[in-house]
Each structure stands twice: as structure tokens, then as C-alpha cells.
A and B are shown apart, each in its own frame.
Chain A
């Protein structure tokens, strides 16, 4: 068996993991092989160093912290259900109170509502397709009588193609210098 094949056995031998008959075989080989002696001494040295590092004292605070956390979790789990419910209910109530208390109070001065004028002509009134002013009069004949409206022969499709007139609403406020015009299309947009 060559040195490469012996490596696994020497490694097990270093940690005391071989049966006596296997260990004897390793000892015989190592006694004659300088390379394997070096390997074995290195294994022993590294094992000693790592075991020493593992056995160094540990700060007691780490254990105390774990103990405290475990006991706290166990005690929390052991409290009766009705006490836990009360704790959760109280927490929710406190949060709700805080939300109400912290919420910003909006104090706004009362704004007078605009007065909507409904007069037609100079005053504000919903006017479809015309600026405020004199309403259109029906056509009259020479005798001053109202002519009946002539039937138009245009197809109704043409009527539909006419652009929709916007709706203009004039709002008068208490301030005579401020007049608000509200212009919307027929769809109310």
C-alpha cells in the first residue's frame, strides 16, 4: 500500500478511530516513511490546536442571554388565553388612542359658497352654444308674424355631425370683482 492510499488510515489513526490491528499496520508504515510521519505529526498538531480553541472559556453573558430568551418565550406561552387576549386588546386600544391623538387636526376657515345666478342674458345661466346675451328670436315675415319654421331637407346624419356646443355656467361670488365661468362639454367632462 502506497502513501496516498495510507492517507485516509493515517488520518483516522490520528483521531483514534482505527481498530488495534489496523492501527498496528499504520504504525509499521509510518515508522518507515518520513513523508507519512510528517503528515501524522501535522494532523496531531492541528487537532490539538483546534481542540484547545474549542475549549477556551466562553463569556457567560452569551449563556445568560439564551436562557433569558428561552424562559421569556416559555412564560409567554404558558399564560392563560384570556390574559393573552386582554394583553392584545389593550395593545390595540393603546394604538388606536395614539392614532386618534396624533392625527393632525384640520381647521379651515369657512369659505362662503358661491352664489349661482340663474338669470339669462347678462346674468349667469346655463347657456348652450352661445355666449350670454340676447336670445335668438324666431324669424318673422314682413307683417311681423312669426313664420313657421321651414322643414329642412338635410338628412339627420348631418345634424349629428355638428360639433357639440359647450355648456357655460357663470358663477357669481360675494366679491363683485370675482366671476367664475365653468365651461364643460355636453358629456359633462
Chain B
């Protein structure tokens, strides 16, 4: 999923107003990026409650760093980087105590039960296949394949080289493909 379009006048005005202390403007900015941040955190952490905690921390950091972020041309890149860092810190704290749990379904309830069941199954496959990956592979897959960033943007967000990103993502894709095949073969 592509990040919200940046660089528009409305976007710049909202950030300027938020920086000046306008809370409504900050809430507008938050609404613009909340899906991106929450879903990224959800895929990285594996459950919605931790993802909500991570999102809260990301937006509080955004509020505290509005001065620096305004100067940055890549607003969503900054948010992705902070999201990954916050999730990494939370994941390290959590692995000492709580294993990655079977998270409740994130999707809203669909009217069609068949569709809801299919959606729930897809969510389950996604969650389980992400769990197979290492922390770095998971971050690369989430940003590149699920959020749709370019290899260069992923490398910048993760602070690594493009070659590293390419190596990690090729291995991760094969692992996920093998899991998906095994999962549905067993189900059939």
C-alpha cells in the first residue's frame, strides 16, 4: 500500500499548524498516517494490542519531533523508520516474556460469512508466514511487499544497503511461498 501523498500545500499547512500548537491540525496529520503506522506495526509485531501501543509511541515521537520532521522532505519515510525502531524495541522486550501470540483478527466484520471466513484465513496465513521470518526479513517484506516501498526507500528506512535488502527479500519470499504452498496443500 502506498504511503499518503506528501508535499501538498494542505499537508504542509497541517504540519505547520500542528507545530504551532494546533492539536486539531496534529489530529488531521495523524488521521492521514494512522493506517500506515498501525498496519506496519501490526505486521511487525503480530498482534493488534502491541501494534496500538507502538502506534501511540510513534505518534508521540512525531509530536515531539515536529520541528525536525518538517524539515525532512520524506515524511512517511521518517514515520516508517520510527515505526520499525519502536516495534524492534517492543519486540525485544516482549520476546523475553511473551511469545508472539495468535492475534485476534484485525479486519472488520464482513457481512458475508463466507467472505469473512476467507478473510480470516488469509489473515491467519499472512500472520503465520511472517512469523517464520527473521526480524530483519520481516521488516523488509512488510515495507517492500506489503507497504509497497521501493528497495531504495526500504534500505533508507532500515539503515541498510540496497544489496542487503535485495538479498533478504529474495530469501524471505521463497520462505513465505513454501509456507503458503504447504499450508494450502495440507488444508486441501
Contacts and interface: CB of A to CB of B under 8 A. Distances in A.
A180 B70 CA distance: 87
Contacts of A56: 106-107, 119, 122-123
Nearest to A57: B108
Interface of A (DSSP majority class)? helix
Which size class do B's interface residues fall under?
35 or more
A11 B39 CA distance: 24
B20 interface: no
B177 A46 contact: yes
A47 B167 CA distance: 17
Contacts of B144: 15, 17
A66 B1 CA distance: 20
Interface in B24-57: 26-27, 30-31, 34-35, 38-39, 43, 48, 52, 55-56
A189 interface: no
A34 to B, nearest CB: 16
Contact of A47 (B34, B145, B170): B145
A30 interface: no
A104 to B, nearest CB: 39
B107 A58 contact: yes
Interface string B54-85: 01100110010000000000000000000000
Contacts of A14: 173
Contact of A74 (B60, B123, B171): B60
Contacts of B63: 70, 74
Contact of A58 (B31, B106, B126, B171): B106
A60 B126 contact: no
Given A15-B169, A58-B107, A63 B34 contact: yes
